[in-house]
Structure 1
Amino acid sequence: MFVVCGEALMDVFASAETDSGMALDARVGGSPFNTAVGLARLGQPVNFFGAISSGFLGERLMRTLQHEGVGTATVQRNDAATTLGLVGLDAAGVPSYSFYGDGCADRLLTPDAIDTLPQTVGAIHVGSYATVVEPVASTLRQLVDQYAARTLISFDPNIRLNVEPELARWRDLLDWMLPRAHLLKISDEDLQLLLPGTSLDDFAADVLQQGVRLLVVTRGAEGVSAWTRRTRASVAAQPVDVVDTVGAGDTFQAALLTWLSENGRLTPDGLSDLSQADLEAASRFAGQAAAITCSRRGADMPRRAELVQGWRPCPSTS
């Protein structure tokens, strides 16, 4: 059983101008929320651990979790508003975000919610802005401290400076997580925000020395690089006609965890024992899943059957 921890919100896209303003298209989202849905769509048992509003937007988030087969027994409800993330897309489909979330439901997760976790937790994934805003950040740190010695911990910083602009807060989080996380997935963009000028190999040597068993760096169009203490591998990006990249990193995370689970490697020792061929296979599987998400609008993650069928997105020839 996976437990994915963090925020749940509504991503709001501008869809068209109207006579009196703009039409907006609101879609369920939040990086951990997307990752939980992505795991469920790939056939993995998963619970979402977070706080969700009891208002109408929160009810919509809950219906999505239930429809997708994500467990909600670990969801804490409250009467605060739902966070809104306004999403703007550039010409390449790359999103920028503005968040409206101060005092909102997903930030108010309290430590007593930890008692709702099932006994069969196989892996816990944490990340994104819920790890740096209070009081939810303290709750998630307590959870990680409580489980790290007996459960695989997966971490993706997924930096959102529009939520927490102080990079020192994100660096402190990374420093705190490195001795506790077994799997670290980070984008090269986030890495350069945290540690400008740091080479990938130097970063890998540092985090592996501190206790991380598997480091995966996603590099956009440059592909993926992965390291364990024993080996490393790099895989080229899957060619795709990009509609937008919303949810691509979350999809990659869900698919990476799925590959590890399906191949019996979802333990700290299992990560350490990955071969170069394993790293390449896991990276290709996760990269293919992310490419599918990039080929359609929003965080529309693939289902397991799409990957079984060997879906291959190709650049347009028009």
Structure 2
Amino acid sequence: MFVVCGEALMDVFAAGDTPTGTALDARVGGSPFNVAVGLARLAQPVAFFGALSRGFLGERLMRALRDEGVDTASVAQVDAPTTLGLVGLDAQGVPSYAFYGEGGADRQLAIDALGLLPADIRAIHLGSYATVVEPIASTLRALVEREHARTLICYDPNIRLNVEPDLARWSDMLQWMLPRTDLLKISEEDLSLLLPDVSPQQFADSALAQGVHLIVVTRGGEGALAWTRSESVSAPAIAVQVIDTVGAGDTFQAALLTWLAEHDCLSIEAMGSMSASQLQAALKFAVDAAAITCSRRGADLPRRSELAR
């Protein structure tokens, strides 16, 4: 089973003016939440490890997870409000976010919640701002420290400076994770924020030297790059009419993990020894999935039947 760790929140879109103000369209979201839903839609067994509010928005998030087939036994319910992420879109459909989440439920994952986790964990995915805000960040570090020697660890920084503006915290987390991560996916935008003078190739070389087995750099409309110790490949983006790019990176990660699981590559040994053709196929599958999400409003991730086998 996959375990996806981190925040779940409500993405709130402007839905037009009303006579007395503005209509808002609130949708379930959060990067790790999206990855968990994406894995479930792609027919992978997955549990979500995070904290949700006992309020009506938290209940809606819980219901959404259950409706999608995500295991919620590892979800902690807490007396704190649900974080809201206000989403603005530019002319190209690229989102910007304003988060209202100080003291929010998604941050309140205490270390004793580790006892909720299942025994049959095949791979752990974590990332986004849950890795740099407390107390959940300390809980996730404790989980990685406990599991990284025996469980596949997957990490996507997914930087949100409007939640944590101190780049040093994000950089510290990346450096701490590198020797504990097996699959690292990072966007070119995040890489340029953390290491502005380092090329993707230089970063990949450094990450591989520190123990990462598969590095993927996503490049938006330019596709994606991937490296193992013996191979490096690229895949172009798919041309689609973009509605917005909300959830595209999360879709990519869920699809990449699905491809690895379906092709018996979800282990350190198999992942590190993938051929160039296997890497190319994995990237194409993930890029195709992300393109589907970009063609729809919000983080509406594809189902397995929408992607070629």
The two structures have a TM-score, normalised by structure 1, of 0.96
- Taking the TM superposition and a 5 Å limit, the aligned residue runs for 1:1-318 are 1-308=1-308
Bigger shift: 81-90 or 300-309? 300-309
Shift of 1:197: 2.2
Whole-angstrom CA distance in 2 between matches of 1:291 and 1:108: 33
Cα distance in 1 for partners of 2:133, 2:244 equals: 27
Displacement of 1:18 after TM fit?
1.0
Note the alpha carbon deviations across 1:73-118, whole angstroms, 9 max, x for none.
0000001000000000000000000000000100010111111111
Q: Deviations over 1:174-207 (max 9, x none)?
A: 0000000000000000000000021111111000
* In 2, Cα distance between equivalents of 1:270 and 1:141: 25
Matched letter for residue 125 of structure 1: H
Give the whole-Å Cα distance in 2 for the aligned partners of 1:141 and 1:288. 32
Aligned AA for 1:26? A
Rounded Cα–Cα distance in structure 2 between residues aligned with 1:80 and 1:64: 19
Q: Name the residue aligned to 1:312.
A: none
Moved more, 264-273 or 47-56: 264-273
Displacement of 1:268: 1.0
What secondary structure sits across from 2:238 in the alignment?
coil
Which residue identity lines up with residue 239 of structure 1 in the other structure?
A: A
Deviation at 1:269, TM superposition (A): 1.1
Residues 208-246 of structure 1, C-alpha deviation per residue, up to 9 Å, x if partnerless?
000000000000111110000011001111111000000
TM-aligned CA deviation for residue 270 of structure 1: 1.3
Gaps of 5+ in 1: 310-318
Find the residue that maps to 1:114 and give its secondary structure: helix
Alignment-mate amino acid for residue 87 of structure 1: V
Q: Across the two proteins, how many residue pairs are aligned to each other?
A: 309
Distance in 2, matches of 1:83 and 1:221, equals 29
User: TM-score, normalising length from structure 2?
Assistant: 0.99
Q: Identity of aligned pairs, percent?
A: 68
SS of 1:171's equivalent in the other structure is: helix
TM-superposition CA deviations, 1:35-55 (whole Å, max 9, x none)? 000000000000000000000
Unaligned runs of 5+ in 2: none
